[in-house]
Amino acid sequence: MVENDPYTRTTLKRILQARYQVFEAENDRQALLRVKQCEPHLVILDFHLPSVNIPRLCQKIKRENGGGEHSGDPGEKLAGAGEG
C-alpha cells in the first residue's frame, strides 16, 4: 500500500491486516523498494501522491514486479476521490 498520509495508511493497514499481509510505503521510492522486496499480488496506490507522475509510477511498479513469482499481466484499477 502506497499512501503518504500516516492516518489513512494506518487505518487501511488495520483493516486489511485481518485477511492480508500488508507492506507499507509512504512515497514512490519506498513503493519501488517494497515491490522489489515483496513481489505483491496487489498494490494499493494513493492517486494523489505529491510530485509523483502516477502513470509512470505504475509502469515502474509493473516492471519491477514483472519477473517474480506473481508476474503475468497485472490488472490495473484506478480510483480517485474528488477533492473538495
**Per-residue pLDDT band at 63 (split at 50, 70, 90):** confident
What pLDDT score was predicted for residue 80?
Answer: 52
Q: Which of 53, 44, 49 is nearest to 79 (CA)?
A: 44
Residues 6+ apart with CB under 8 A from 68: 39
Section 14-21 average pLDDT: 95
